[in-house]
Structure formats: C-alpha cells, structure tokens
Amino acid sequence: MARERARILREQEAKRARRNKALMIGGIVLAVALVAFAILQIVGKGGKANTGDYEGTVRPATLANVTDDYGIDVNAAGVAGQVVEDAGVFAVYSDYTCSGCINLERNYADTYHNHADAGELSVRLYPVATLNNSVSDNAAAAMFYVATYAPEQAWAYNDALFARTAEAVKGGGSAPTLAEFADIAKSVGVPDDVANDLPASVASDDWKAVAVAATDSFREKGYTATPTLEVNGVVDDSWLAEGDVDSVIQSAIEAGAK
C-alpha cells in the first residue's frame, strides 16, 4: 500500500509539472504575441496618414469587380471580377496583419496560382480588417481600391501586400504607410494615375467605410477568426484540426470537376 501511494504521488507530481510547463510556455507565447500586436498598433496608427509625395485626389468608393458580400474573384491571369470557368471556388477571408493569414499566404499562394493556371481552381479573396489596427484597415481598403480601378493587377497586389505586412508582423519591421501602399501598387503594374490617387482615397472616410462594411459582412456570416476558408460558398474548417489546407483545396478542385 505504501508503494502504491508513492506511485500515485509521483504520477500526480509529474502531471502537475507538465501542466505548469504548458501554462508557462502558453503564457510566454501569448505575451510575445501581445507585445508584437501592441507595437504594430502603435507604429501602424502613427503612420496611417503618411501619404508621402502623393498628392492625388479621392476617387469614388463605388466598388467594381467585387461581389455583393465583398469577395474579389480572380482568374488565372490575376484579374479581379473574373473566374476560372468550370472550376470550384476556393475562398479565403484574410486580415493582412493576421499571422495565420500571412502563414497561409506564404505556404499556399503558389499552390493557388498553379491550380488556377491549370484551370482547376477559381480563387476568391475576401479582405477584412478584424484586428483593429490601421494597417489592417488601410490594406483592406487599398485592396478594394485596386480591384475597382486596376483589376488586372488585383491578385498581384494582394500577394505584394502580404509580403509587406509580413515584414511588419513577422520580421519586426515598420508598419507600411499609405505612400508605401501606393509604391507597392506601382511595383506590380498598377497604372500611375491609379496609384497616385490611392493614398488620398484610402485615407478618406468613404474608403474606410468599405473596409468596415467588408468586415461587418464577415461577422454577419457568423465568422469570428481569420483565415476562414470556403468551398463554393460553404465554410470548410476541416483543416483546423491538423492544418491540412491541401485537402480543402482538393475539395474545391473536385467540386468544380466536370
């Protein structure tokens, strides 16, 4: 009986040690995440009005090439408002400052493009601003602006935006300014006149309202976290258990197969 009691005590102590270690690691991870987010909040809000040398005018926030629920379809050529014919629709709801969204883009952007090129997959982008920082707000508004006024560069702009916000969120770099969002637009071929008007437009209340409306639409669907994935308009969260995004992509491919 004494040996059995000793064994039980040893097991309880081992469990307590494992639990304390898990709590400590979880606390450290959370603390690091909160510090990174706080820095992004401070830097992002400090630079949100920096339009640099751009002195363009505000363009009307009348969306084009955007679905009624704020999705941006892109075809194999990356053109907004176009789909890959006869292909299943793989939709991604993303906040440009969301670490999980950045990881998804980093690991699967090439996969999306390759399947679209093969005529197997149509991609729909849903820019949202769920993390309550100016970088999210501005990036989402900028993406809708480019989809409306420079649709041929929409998908390329999305990828370039993610590359820049990854520097801020993952690499500890500075938050992008409105002038940088315009620089990025020019770098992917957005016409100069459209890029010149981007900072003033994104800074305006009308375009800020677009980002808010897109985010409200996301939440009205009952979605709470990004990234969220859909196949043909139906949420698919099967990947959350083991991170198997490939199976969701394959489901979209099969959904559109003849």
- Mean model confidence pLDDT for the chain: 88
pTM, entire model: 0.82
Question: Helices in 150-204 by DSSP H: which ranges?
Answer: 154-169, 178-187, 192-202
Distance in angstroms (rounded) separating the CA atoms of residues 54 and 90: 36
- pLDDT over threshold 90, residue 67: yes
**Averaged pLDDT, 85-93:** 97
Helix (H) or strand (E) holding 74: strand 72-74
Give me the pLDDT at residue 77, please.
Answer: 98
Q: 217-249, pLDDT tens digit by residue?
A: 999 999 999 999 999 999 999 999 989 999 999
Q: How confident is the model at residue 258 (pLDDT cuts 50, 70, 90)?
A: low
- pLDDT over threshold 90, residue 119: yes
**Does 106 or 43 have the greater pLDDT score?**
106
Distance in angstroms (rounded) separating the CA atoms of residues 237 and 257: 21
Q: How confident is the model at residue 133 (pLDDT cuts 50, 70, 90)?
A: very high
**Does 54 or 246 have the greater pLDDT score?**
246
- pLDDT over threshold 70, residue 134: yes
- pLDDT over threshold 60, residue 78: yes
Q: 175-221, pLDDT tens digit by residue?
A: 999 999 999 999 999 999 999 999 999 999 999 999 999 999 999 99
**Averaged pLDDT, 152-158:** 98
Q: How confident is the model at residue 53 (pLDDT cuts 50, 70, 90)?
A: confident
Q: How confident is the model at residue 12 (pLDDT cuts 50, 70, 90)?
A: low
Q: Are the C-beta atoms of 151 and 65 separated by less than 8 Å? A: yes
Annotation: CATH topology of 52-257: Glutaredoxin (3.40.30)
- pLDDT over threshold 60, residue 159: yes
- pLDDT over threshold 80, residue 51: no
Q: Which residues contact 207 (CB under 8 A, 6 or more apart)?
A: 58, 61, 141, 144, 145, 201
Q: How confident is the model at residue 32 (pLDDT cuts 50, 70, 90)?
A: very low
Which of 199, 233, 251, 249 minimizes the C-alpha distance to 68?
233
